[in-house]
Chain A
Amino acid sequence: MKVVLEHVTKRFPNRDKKVKTEVTAVNDISFEIPDGKLIGLLGPSGCGKSTTLYMICGLQKLTEGRIFFGDEDVTELSPENRGVGLVFQNYALYPHMTVKQNIMFPLENLKGADKLTKDEMLERTLKVAKLVQIDELLERKPSELSGGQQQRVAIARALVKMPRVLLLDEPLSNLDARLRLQTREEIRRIQRETNITTVFVTHDQEEAMSISDQIVVMKLGVVQQMGVPQMVYNDPANLFVAKFLGTPPVNVFRGLIKGQALYIGNEKICDTPGVSDRGVYVGIRPEGFIFNPNGVLTCDFKNVEVMGGAISIVTGHADSESPIIRATVMDEVRIPEGTPSVKFDIKPNKLYVFDKETEERIYF
């Protein structure tokens, strides 16, 4: 089921009752989720991801805009009539019911033509329990399960109604690091098997990048960029997106465009044909540095870090936004300790220039 958001805005009355101004949690966002895809809704905490998800779900009413499932306008529909499954951040499993009862609960609510017999309910429960691999645990209470198992039960409960859209609100944030990796693969597998259009909310860019077909990057209630993860990573639309994606993060320098060329400090980095003179930020991905004694950029050498197969040259620069610049290089490099400075060439496709005022990308 394709999901379309058109100019969706959500304003809340201020939590502090004395303040009259409203809080705009989501500000005029529009995007389209293709049928059967897994979309990662990504952004820092408080940027309106959950609010967006709850509006798609129907738990929150829209202040402005419309939401479509396929061609059907669902803006005014209540959650149960939208055919959505929602997995809460802390699962919200009913503690007094067994796993089986939890999963069966949504089915027992079905009315009229959709009403199922006890046997049909049981059959569907077992099927979905098998899908998420918890069919051994059906008689247990949620308190007798591990975090990862609870997560699966929550997903099973959301899936059992065969929803048109599956919504997951930070589903991995309560799991420890190893389980997180495992479970995210699991979610990917379940999504592939069921082919249900899925929206996955997270503030962890690595998580979103690794399992999403497409990511939507949000900031302060506004969509910054949407696209295939690798594409967004390689071609960020603004400084925020560039900084938000990637570990280790992008290195940011203060730079200058002068006479159609880019300068960091006194060093000319590259030509920028057609770009007028102005102050800029320069983002260089760690893998964008090429170690070269005759390179264009000179950095103060600090040390070399070897982590697994990757080698990082740690340096500093007077015009760097952060005290440390990290350059990952593939080849073995030998830089004697006490070397004052090192030089790099920059791969043009790993270098992004942003306007100093708007922080928007400058293409050239």
Chain B
Amino acid sequence: MVDSKQQWKAWLYLSPAIVLLLVFTVWPIINTVRMAFLDNYSGLQAAGGETFSFGIENFTRVVKARRFIDCLRNTMLLCVLTVPISTMLALLIAVTLNSIKPLQKTLQTIFFLPYVTNSIAIGMVFAAMFNIVGSFYGTDRQLVTTAGIINNVINFFSTTFTGKEAMVNWINIGSAYRENIIVMTVYIVWNALPFKILILLGGLQSINKQYYDAARVDGTSRTRVFWRITVPLLSPMLAYVIITGFIGGFKEYTSIVGIFGENMGPANDRDRLNTMVGYIYDALENNNQGRASAAALILFGIILVVTLLNLYVSKKRVHY
């Protein structure tokens, strides 16, 4: 323990950090809770001198709002789709990467690239790839009109094998919800892979090689080695990756903007793919801080419950 006479020094050194935390973290949290429980709180009206009564109307309104339910459904759906897919893919890629010797470092770098690339920029590229109409400057600087590369590939296979042209409207005007979700899933999974691969590869490389030698002496098949040795020994990393994956998934927002822009949906159906965080931003823009705060607290509650659930499951499944 620090000498009590010395303690004021410790506080002194900590004070800059404490002040910043108080101003930018602790106070906003308290204020969020306060605003959430002041009925129909609006910052603008509060500045005009209006007072608000204490109550839970923000919550009841948010929960009843059709838009909020849609946002909740979109968020949950994307979470449930992307977290398992990206985790399994990352595990597969990490295991494969770990087992090859030549080019391992190079491939590792390639797989890590998306992590250091701006996700809005990636989103725009994905949007271009999934586009149904697009254009580029060909030779002689002529504007050539074509579909995105995905549709071109689909079209190529369709025309060669069935003789019919085929295009899928993934994200443009008139596209269907299912297609939108597919695009979002592909994009989010792709975006989430590098971090997960990095963590899992690190985990794999820290597993003692002698476990594998021991398994070889005992004639363990490859699949059994994977399920009985690799996965259990990797379970702490897997749990970490899944929990952070869900937390990140519930905060999904930028990826939708990346593909659909601020419309949060195809041009004919604004906000079709809006998420919880998107809902909060919209409420803030409309000077509806009370409702935004309520939605933020609901989001917090959901993340808390899901994380506790994850931790509960991993207590039983994670070894050590």
Residues 215 to 245 of chain B near chain A (Cβ within 8 Å)? 216-221, 224, 228-229, 232-233, 235
With known contacts A86-B214, A88-B213, A88-B214, A96–B319 Cβ distance under 8 A: yes
Which of A57, A95, A109, A111 has a CB less than 8 Å from the CB of B320?
A95
Do the beta carbons of B217 and A86 come within 8 Å of each other? yes
Mark the stretch among A77-85, A326-334, A350-358 that contacts chain B. Answer: A77-85
Q: Which residues of A contact B220 (CB under 8 A)?
A: 105, 109
Do the beta carbons of B211 and A106 come within 8 Å of each other? no
Q: Is the CB of A161 closer than 8 A to any CB of chain B? A: yes
Q: Is the CB of A231 closer than 8 A to any CB of chain B? A: no
Do the beta carbons of A88 and B320 come within 8 Å of each other? no
Q: How far is the CA of A86 from the CA of B217 in the complex (A)?
A: 7
Kindly supply a per-residue 1/0 record for chain A positions 147-163, scoring 1 wherever the CB is within 8 Å of any chain B CB and 0 otherwise: 00000000001000100
Q: Is the CB of A318 closer than 8 A to any CB of chain B? A: no
Shortest beta-carbon distance from A196 to chain B in Å = 15
Kindly supply a per-residue 1/0 record for chain A positions 93-112, scoring 1 wherever the CB is within 8 Å of any chain B CB and 0 otherwise: 01110000000011011110
Do the beta carbons of B320 and A106 come within 8 Å of each other? no
Write the chain A residue with the least CB distance to B224.
A109
With known contacts A96-B233, A96-B319, A59–B211 Cβ distance under 8 A: no
Kindly supply a per-residue 1/0 record for chain B positions 199-215, scoring 1 wherever the CB is within 8 Å of any chain A CB and 0 otherwise: 00000000010110110
Q: Which residues from chain A sit less than 8 Å from chain B, CB to CB?
A: 57-59, 78-81, 84-86, 88, 90, 92, 94-96, 105-106, 108-111, 143, 157, 161
Residue of A57, A90, A105, A110 with most chain B CB atoms under a 10 A cut-off: A105
Residue of B217, B221, B232, B319 with most chain A CB atoms under a 10 A cut-off: B217
Q: Which residues of B contact A111 (CB under 8 A)?
A: 219
Do the beta carbons of B216 and A88 come within 8 Å of each other? no
Which of A59, A94, A95, A105 has a CB less than 8 Å from the CB of B216?
A59
A sample of 15 inter-chain contacts (CB < 8 A) reads A58-B217, A59-B213, A59-B216, A79-B219, A80-B218, A80-B219, A86-B214, A88-B213, A94-B211, A95-B319, A96-B319, A105-B218, A105-B228, A106-B219, A110-B219
Q: Which residues of B contact A79 (CB under 8 A)?
A: 216-217, 219
Shortest beta-carbon distance from A68 to chain B in Å = 19
Do the beta carbons of B208 and A94 come within 8 Å of each other? no
Shortest beta-carbon distance from B228 to chain A in Å = 7
Q: Which residues of A contact B320 (CB under 8 A)?
A: 95-96, 143
Write the chain A residue with the least CB distance to B229.
A94
What are the 6 closest A-B residue pairs judged by CB atoms, nearest first? A80-B219, A96-B319, A106-B218, A92-B210, A96-B232, A79-B217
Shortest beta-carbon distance from B207 to chain A in Å = 10
Q: Which residues of B contact A78 (CB under 8 A)?
A: 216, 219
Q: How far is the CA of A92 from the CA of B232 in the complex (A)?
A: 15
Shortest beta-carbon distance from A142 to chain B in Å = 11
Q: How far is the CA of A58 from the CA of B232 in the complex (A)?
A: 26
Q: How far is the CA of A84 from the CA of B216 in the complex (A)?
A: 11
With known contacts A105-B228, A109-B224, A92–B211 Cβ distance under 8 A: yes
Shortest beta-carbon distance from B15 to chain A in Å = 43
Write the chain B residue with the least CB distance to A96.
B319
Shortest beta-carbon distance from A340 to chain B in Å = 58
Q: Which residues of A contact B210 (CB under 8 A)?
A: 88, 90, 92
Q: Which residues of B contact A58 (CB under 8 A)?
A: 217
Residues 302 to 320 of chain B near chain A (Cβ within 8 Å)? 319-320
Q: How far is the CA of A59 from the CA of B210 in the complex (A)?
A: 11
Write the chain B residue with the least CB distance to A154.
B214
Do the beta carbons of A109 and B219 come within 8 Å of each other? yes
Q: How far is the CA of A106 from the CA of B229 in the complex (A)?
A: 13
Q: How far is the CA of A187 from the CA of B224 in the complex (A)?
A: 31
